[in-house]
Every structure is written in C-alpha cells, then in structure tokens.
Structure 1
Amino acid sequence: MDLRRIDLNLLVAFDMLMTERSVTRAAQRLSVGQSAMSSTLGRLRKLFDDPIMTRDGRTLVATPLAESLAEPVRDLLVDIENVLALRNEFDPFTAEQTFSIIANDYLIMTFLQPLIARLSTEAPGIRLRIFPTGDDFADQLRRHQVDLLLIPQEAFEEHAEFHHHVLFQDRYVVAVDKDHPDVADEITLEQFSELPYLAASSGHLRSLSEMQLDFLGVRRNTEITAGFGTAPFLLKGTRLITLVHERLARKVHEAAGIRLLEPPIARLQPITEIMAWTNRTDAVAGHRWLRRMLIDLADEYDGDPAHSGI
C-alpha cells in the first residue's frame, strides 16, 4: 500500500468509530455531519477491503479485522501526537483550549474550585468541562472521552493501567450539629452505632467510608442516605451524625453549623486522591501544564498547617 495515498484523517475517523461504535456519536465527537461520517466509513471499507462495521439490529458491530486494527491504529495516532507535541509550546495566558475532567462534588468544592479561580487570571482562555463520576469512569478515560480522571485510588482498581499521580490524602471526621444534645467534645463507638446516622453516597456508587465501616463491622443506625457534598448541610437541628472528608468539613463547617470530632474507629483509613490520564495526552504540552497546576495546588494545600488536626 502506497502510504502517500493514505489520508491520516481516515485513521482518526476509524479510531473514533471504534471508540463510539456509532456513526452518529463519532460524527459528533469529530464535529462533522453524519452523512460525512457515513462517507468516511465507506472510504475506510474500500481502504481495508472490509465492512469494518456491520449492523446487528439497531447497533453497529465491528468486524474481526476492525477489532484487530483498533489497538495498533490507536497506538499509531498516540505516537504521532507525541511526536508533534515534542515541539509544541504552550502559553497558558494566550492559549485557547478546553480540558475535560471527571471529578465528584467533593473534589470540585475542595480542590478544583481554587483551580477555577486561578484560571481566570493565569489562563483566561482555558475552559474546563467537569463530568460526574459514573459507573463507567474507567471506560470513559480509556476511550479518550475525557482528558483527566480525579478519583480515590481505593475506588479505582485499574489505576495501574494508566499514567497516574498521587495528589493528596484526606481522612474522615465525624460531623454533628454544633448544638447536638447528646455529643460533647468526643463521641464514643457506642454513640456512633446508636445515634441516627446519615450515610453518604456518590451517586449510584457506595462511598468508601460506608464500605470501610461494613468491613470493620461497625454498626450504624442509618436513617438518611444522601450525597456527601450535601451531607454536612443536613445535620443542623438534628441528632444525626455522619462521616465526612476533613477537607470538605473544614470548608463548610461554619456555613453548615456543624462540629467536627475524631472518629471512634481506630482502623478507619484515609482516602488517597489521584489523577489518571492516558498515553495519548502524556507528552502534550497543554495537558502537562494542567497536571502540573493540579500537583502544585495539592502541594500548597498539604503544606498549610491550618488543615491538620481537628
């Protein structure tokens, strides 16, 4: 095959079709019309002398040849992007670029909010698209639907498959109404087990704190289940108690009218927040700049003595 006759854009389209398994979604991702993408699929079929995608009911199914080409083509595109990125200069003050990130409410409130504030002066042309953590977060990253994943390492068993960096650790504290009638300066394990309990969750995912408490055999009198971003604000005027990340608790304790206490559970482990990305963006200057911004923010926070101890 004469490489001079090959349009590299065909391989980009092939990669997107294999990622999305849909002509419509691939067209949307590449910002082209559906008819143009259908035409491109026809060119791919001619190039490889293979149907590439066949219809099975309402879905498109890749042929065996297409499946065998998917990984080599993706690796090839990554290598090309990395070669081009070697001479790519990135000036955050003048750059116009959008980055997509998966992060939960806790990270948005405690970690990304300072980044957003900093971008307005240091990188006014940078835009962030932040998506919630769904059940398919690993696949979204693997399929390059997002640029960066921020998540507890303990909730991401496959993190070793990706480039990743530890940002910070955060421990759990007990939160109660500041005028709680039954809890003074300390809370006992017996009180923790008997008082009405608010279980925090992350969408459809069980929180790491709840999984730890189950593993440790700690009983709870669960009366309410709510997202951990809103949990601290539901305690005021109640006898409820809850476990909350210390960073979030310290940020909202005055507004929420709550007190923070040491957990009466000795073996309760902190979470380790990491960021993960793929080889596709590893050497790209703009992405390296964003990751460095996040690392610097994490270092600044960990160096602040106001965020240690109850």
Structure 2
Amino acid sequence: MRFKHLDLNLLVGLNVLLEEQSITRAARRLHLSQSATSGILSRIREHFKDEVLVTVGKSMILTPFGATLVEPIRNLLDQIQHTVGRRPAVLPEDARRKFKLIASDYITTVLMADVSRHVQRIAPGVAFESVDPSADSTELFERGEIDLLITVRQYCLKSLPTRVLMEESFTGVVWTGNTVVGNELTLEQYLSLGHVISQFGMDSRDSCDHAFMKSLGYARHVEMATSNFNTVPHFVVGTNRIATVQTRLAKLFTAHYPLRIVPVPVELPKLEMCMQWHEFMDQEPLHLWLRDTIAEIARSEHIPSLAFDPPLAALDHGPGQIGQIH
C-alpha cells in the first residue's frame, strides 16, 4: 500500500535500519537477505532524496536528515502497533495478559511480590515477567517491547511519563551475634567496619548508598561486593560486617534472618522510586489499572513478608470494584 508515494511496507525496514545502522544486523532482525535489505534502503533513499545511511570506513552512520527520522518513525510504528492491537476493554478479572517490566531485585522483593499476590486474587489471568536493569533491557524498553520501568529518579528516561511510587531511606544491618557493634555507631566505627555492598552489571555499577558515600568523600572498607540486594544477608550473618540497605529491605531481612537494624551515622539522601511507561500506553485500560494498583500498594506502609502475609485489607476490594477504571 502506498501513501504519498511511499510504500508503507518499507516503514518497518526503515525503523530497523535506523536503529541498527548496519545492513547485516538489520537483515538478521528482518529475516531477509542482505541484498533484499539493501533494496529496502535503496527505495527509501529514492523516496526521501537523501542517502539516509552512508558508509564511513567500516561502519554506517546516519546522515543529518536520517537522524531526524529516528524518533518520528519509531513513534509512528508504536502508534500503529497500539492501534492495531486495540481490543474491546477487558475487566482485570477477565484479562489474559503478561506484563513485562524492568525492576531490580529490591523492587521485586519489597513491591512486586505483593503486587503479584494481589493481582493473582483480582486478575488470575494476568502474569508478570521481571527483567534485571541493564543496557540491553533499557534498549528494549525504549523500543516499546517492555511495559514498565521501575527505577530511582536519577535513572529515569527523559520525556517518558513518570509516576513517583515511594521514597526510601537507608539504614544499617548487622548480625545479632555481632559483639563489635552496639545500638549506635560513630562515624569512625562505621567506616572501620567491614562492609557488604551491592554492585551491578559488567561495569560494577555502585548501588545508590555506595555512590552517595563516595560523593560525600567517605571510603568504606568493602569486604564483600555482591551482584544483587537479596544475597547481602548471607555475607553479614556470622560476621562482624555491616551492610547499608534500603529501610524496607532491612525490615524484611530482620524478620527472616538473625539480623538487627543499626542506624548509620551518615545522613544519606532518600531515594525516590519512580515508574515509567510509554505515552501510547497512557490510557490503555488494563495498563492503567496495573499502574494504579502498583502505586496504591507502594503508598501503603505495609512491609512485605516472605511468609506470605494475609491480603491487604485496604486493597482487597474484590473484582467488581478494582475492575473499574477511572
């Protein structure tokens, strides 16, 4: 089909070429031969009267005009996908859908575990897939292939809808058998202890508490760096080490491990946890219902339990009420 002399079938190929900036990689994604993909590029060049992609050395780069096409073409395809994927509004209790989200193990533990239990009661046909934060998963989210991103404010993506879920503070946890640490800590004691911290990704990106400490000019003696939050207790129990973790996580840890909370002698900035999504999903009923559900549970003072607490009375409205989208 042609519109304004452009074969609309070329739009998908154009989007992939703009993203990959490589005929070889684009051909692989499009499941086409390289010659067929080159043919798409030729027709695109002919239509726009611009090279769009040019070879420089061993690479291809966008022309200035080609660079102006990236966002409009991606947004256009997102809108088309949303439009052709529309279905009559479905009540949550009748829905059959899987939501994919990017969230750290901290968020999945203190928030999404409760969300999933609540949603199972209200909408048993709704499933979740949680993906660790990474450059690859963020790229998928930017392409519209992931429904939600939940992260700290400083890692939010610009220009996307953002909703603040909750604030989070930090505190210390030590083993209950720790004979070195009392009920309070001086700064000198705190810095002299062995610390357990979390670092993420191949580049060992620091957790927020460690980044904050560095920015304040404090150097902690790190005895153990682990790749997630939930393994931290295993490296604290049975030692005189300390870990500085999010307060919600600390309360959960102390309920299930021989750990106790100790205030840290440094005032660390609070985290602002936010949820992001694509604008084309802004008013999609089931997506909106899920965002409201996540936000309502995040606002509660409830601390999740690994022992599976009873349903939240404040949220247990029943299918008839929760299913109403406002």
TM over 0.5: yes
| 8 Å contact kept, 2:172–2:250 | no
Distance 1:47 1:113 in 2: 51
1:116 Cα deviation from its structure 2 partner: 2.3
With structure 1 as the length reference, what TM-score do the two structures score?
A: 0.79
Letter in 2 for 1:167: L
Deviates more, 1:179-188 or 1:53-62: 53-62
For residue 173 of structure 1, give the secondary structure of its aligned residue in structure 2.
strand
What do residues 48-98 of structure 1 show as CA deviations (whole Å, max 9, x unaligned)? Answer: 566655666876544554433222223334455666789852333333333
1:295 maps to 2:295: yes
Q: Against the structure 1 CA distance between its residues 115 and 20, is the aligned structure 2 distance closer, same or farther, given a 3 Å change threshold?
A: farther
Partner of 1:274: 274
Letter in 2 for 1:150: I
Partner of 1:196: 194
1:263 maps to 2:264: yes
Partner of 2:173: 175
Q: Against the structure 1 CA distance between its residues 91 and 54, is the aligned structure 2 distance closer, same or farther, given a 3 Å change threshold?
A: farther
| 8 Å contact kept, 1:200–1:243 | no
| 8 Å contact kept, 1:200–1:242 | no
| 8 Å contact kept, 1:232–1:244 | no
Letter in 1 for 2:161: H
Partner of 1:212: 212
1:152 maps to 2:152: yes
Number of equivalences: 300
| 8 Å contact kept, 1:55–1:61 | yes
Q: Against the structure 1 CA distance between its residues 100 and 26, is the aligned structure 2 distance closer, same or farther, given a 3 Å change threshold?
A: farther
Q: Sequence identity of aligned pairs in percent?
A: 28
Partner of 2:284: 284
For residue 161 of structure 1, give the secondary structure of its aligned residue in structure 2.
coil
1:261 Cα deviation from its structure 2 partner: 1.5
Q: Against the structure 1 CA distance between its residues 180 and 275, is the aligned structure 2 distance closer, same or farther, given a 3 Å change threshold?
A: same
For residue 93 of structure 1, give the secondary structure of its aligned residue in structure 2.
helix
Distance 2:74 2:50 in 1: 19
Structure 1 unpaired stretches of 5+: none
1:166 maps to 2:160: no
1:3 maps to 2:7: no
1:111 maps to 2:116: no
| 8 Å contact kept, 2:224–2:235 | no
| 8 Å contact kept, 1:196–1:240 | yes
Q: Against the structure 1 CA distance between its residues 68 and 130, is the aligned structure 2 distance closer, same or farther, given a 3 Å change threshold?
A: same
Distance 1:305 1:241 in 2: 22
Deviates more, 1:114-123 or 1:44-53: 44-53
| 8 Å contact kept, 2:78–2:144 | no
Letter in 1 for 2:258: G
Distance 2:9 2:19 in 1: 15
Deviates more, 1:216-225 or 1:72-81: 72-81
Structure 2 unpaired stretches of 5+: 306-326
1:106 Cα deviation from its structure 2 partner: 0.8
| 8 Å contact kept, 1:82–1:283 | no
Distance 1:252 1:167 in 2: 22
Q: Against the structure 1 CA distance between its residues 33 and 136, is the aligned structure 2 distance closer, same or farther, given a 3 Å change threshold?
A: closer
Deviates more, 1:202-211 or 1:85-94: 85-94
Distance 1:218 1:164 in 2: 32
1:230 Cα deviation from its structure 2 partner: 1.1
1:35 Cα deviation from its structure 2 partner: 4.7
Letter in 1 for 2:11: L
Distance 1:287 1:7 in 2: 33
Deviates more, 1:87-96 or 1:283-292: 87-96
1:235 Cα deviation from its structure 2 partner: 0.8
| 8 Å contact kept, 2:163–2:274 | yes
Letter in 2 for 1:244: V
1:280 Cα deviation from its structure 2 partner: 3.3
| 8 Å contact kept, 2:252–2:303 | no
What do residues 161-195 of structure 1 show as CA deviations (whole Å, max 9, x unaligned)? Answer: 22101001111110000111112222222221112
Q: Against the structure 1 CA distance between its residues 262 and 54, is the aligned structure 2 distance closer, same or farther, given a 3 Å change threshold?
A: same
1:107 Cα deviation from its structure 2 partner: 0.9
| 8 Å contact kept, 2:191–2:221 | yes
For residue 238 of structure 1, give the secondary structure of its aligned residue in structure 2.
coil
1:213 Cα deviation from its structure 2 partner: 1.3
